[in-house]
Amino acid sequence: MATTRKPRRRKAAPKKATTRKKGSEQLLTVVSADGTTDAKVDLSDERKLHLYESMVRAREFDRRMLMLQRQGRIGFYGPILGQEAATIGSVAAFEERDWIFPALREGAAAMMRGLPLHIAIAQLIGNDLDRCKGRQMPCHYTFKEGNYYGMSSVIGTQISHAVGAAMAAKLRGDDVVIAGYMGDGATSANDFHAGMNFAAVYQAPVVLICQNNQWAISVPQSQQHNSETIAMKADAYGMPSMRVDGNDVLAVYQATKQAVEFAREGNGPTFLELVTYRRLGHSSSDDPTRYRDEAEVKDWEKRDPVERFRRYLEAEELWTADQETELQETIAREVNAAIKQAEEGGETPAEDLITDVYSEVPKQLREQLDEALEARES
């Protein structure tokens, strides 16, 4: 005889930042645009300073790499300007044992996990210091030691990868949590829907993070979806979500930390919408003045995440103008030294084209390679 099985009861979802009523635009915010807060921030002063220094370092690295691209010293770069809080605040909430599956603007996460600056720059150059050996697009870092997965430029594919890795961890009994990043444009991709549904049904220990920077290259958010928010898309899959001020590093950290703990306790996934803004082009190959109003950019500049957090630290008497000057000079020296070291790298060995594929190179391929090398040298 068939028996009726009671549905499995799940633990309560994390408290949502967004009031779920039609038209809601509420965001989880800890620090206002002027740097003030009424909230109690449960974070050590040391941790706050680390967040700020990481944001400043990401911004300076970004500025210098874009300069190198304009000088023809690297071929391509995807800037992060305006999104530092969204990247730094979310990554910092994960533990080192957790895995990061990035989209385009999470390179700072690899550096926070220990990827040396000169190796990151070598990846942009594609020389023999590059861990990818020149075979991956610039900005597509990989850093296995830091549990930072190499990204794909195919939109949204890392969502399925992140959910799959989370399920592997769950099946193995590892209490790690996976971070899966995406942009607002990826929420229209097939992998978004497949990944969200699978993660929710099987309670995968993953935090899916959308950096909603308002533009999917030249497609505005208004043409990307017709829902009131991106966060509410999680409702359809039975997944808890939070909508967060992505330019407030403490709000991003708080929301992500809550989602990570929720997943680690075995309660399944959370979807985070980090509302931020890309102030430069989608990449160094893009001219954003062709498709958006400069007044919009100016408006978002007033919400600059780095300046906001600096004002907060100054109000808390944790930061001074002298410390700012010293930090800027220190980071400038670090980046200059890293550029010099990276540019000392040589060409990627041609032999790697086949020796990376075959442990024992077939005779005919070896002959072809020798002929190619001989022709190049003649």
Distance CA 170, CA 167 (A): 5
Instruction: Please report the pLDDT score of residue 334 as a whole number.
Output: 98
What residues have CB less than 8 Å from 124, skipping those under 6 apart? Answer: 65, 68, 74, 75, 76, 77, 138, 139, 342
Examine the residue annotation and report whether 225 is marked as an active-site residue of this protein: no
Examine the residue annotation and report whether 291 is marked as an active-site residue of this protein: yes
Instruction: Please report the pLDDT score of residue 25 as a whole number.
Output: 53
Closest by CA to 192, choosing from 205, 182, 200, 201, is 182
Instruction: Please report the pLDDT score of residue 12 as a whole number.
Output: 46
Helix, strand or coil, per DSSP, at residue 180: strand
Q: Which of 20, 63, 70, 291 is catalytic?
A: 291
- DSSP of 15-48: PPSS--STT----B-SS-TTS---S---S-HHHH
pTM given for the model: 0.90
**Number of C-beta neighbours around residue 30 at 10 A:** 21
Distance CA 352, CA 36 (A): 54
Q: Give the right CATH number for 45-347 from 3.40.50.1820, 3.40.50.300, 2.40.30.10, 3.40.50.970.
A: 3.40.50.970
What residues have CB less than 8 Å from 57, skipping those under 6 apart? Answer: 108, 111, 331, 334
- The pLDDT tens digits for 333-350 are 999 999 999 999 999 888
Mean pLDDT by runs of 10 across the 378 residues of the chain is 43 41 64 92 95 98 96 94 97 97 93 97 95 90 95 90 98 97 95 97 98 94 91 96 97 98 98 97 92 94 97 97 98 98 92 86 91 85
Cross-strand bridge partners of residue 270? 207
Examine the residue annotation and report whether 282 is marked as an active-site residue of this protein: yes
Domains of the chain, residue spans: 45-347, 350-378
The tokens for 203 are 């309670």
Q: Which of 282, 303, 308, 310 is catalytic?
A: 282
Q: Which of 105, 140, 278, 308 is catalytic?
A: 278
What residues have CB less than 8 Å from 241, skipping those under 6 apart? Answer: 16, 18, 231, 232, 233, 234, 235, 270, 271, 272, 273
* Helical ranges in the chain per DSSP H: 45-70, 84-92, 107-112, 117-125, 157-172, 190-201, 249-264, 294-301, 305-315, 321-343, 352-355, 363-377
The tokens for 22 are 């039609």
